[in-house]
């Protein structure tokens, strides 16, 4: 399970997806399936959460990994490459960004 802690030494990824209200639920379902069937089973996966804004135009994913290398290895798997192509078709684009925890309040 993802836990936000200042002493966390793994890799935090926040990915923002821009979508439309008409495609938001399809995007969320595709992301939920990816996490349940593939991502959560990868080495180094610690936890994740999905968020959607009220307008259903943005979906955000927060995930934690044991290391940057574990996250990058997951992205390179044939299954995730295929899933990411399908996910990309449900949004205007998405951008995963690696972060470090600087403070918890």
State mean pLDDT over 1-13.
87
22: in domain: yes
Structural domain range at position 41: 11-99
**For the chain, what is the domain count?**
1
pLDDT at 1: 72
Whether 51 has a pLDDT exceeding 90, the answer reads yes
pLDDT at 53: 98
- Look at residue 67 and give its three-state secondary structure: coil
Q: Find the angle CA(40)-CA(43)-CA(44) to the nearest 5 degrees.
A: 85
80: in domain: yes
Per-residue model confidence as pLDDT tens digits over 84-98: 999 999 999 999 999
69: in domain: yes
48: in domain: yes
Residue 12 CA to residue 95 CA, distance in Å, equals 14
What is this structure's pTM? 0.91
Number of H helices, E strands in the chain: 3, 4
CATH number reported for the structural domain that contains residue 94 in this entry: 3.30.70.100
1: in domain: no
DSSP string of 28-56, one letter each residue: HHHHHHHHHHTGGGSTTEEEEEEEE-TTS
Average pLDDT of the chain to the nearest whole number: 95
């Amino acid at each position: 399970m993802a836990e936000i802690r200042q002493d966390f030494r793994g890799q935090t990824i926040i990915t923002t997806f821009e979508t439309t209200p008409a495609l938001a639920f399809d995007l969320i379902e595709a992301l939920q399936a990816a996490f349940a069937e593939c991502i959560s089973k990868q080495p180094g996966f610690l936890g994740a959460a999905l968020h959607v804004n009220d307008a259903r135009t943005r979906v955000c994913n927060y995930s934690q990994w044991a290391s940057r290398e574990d996250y990058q290895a997951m992205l390179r798997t044939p299954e995730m490459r295929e899933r990411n192509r399908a996910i990309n078709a449900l949004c205007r684009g998405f951008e995963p960004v690696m972060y470090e925890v600087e403070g918890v309040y």
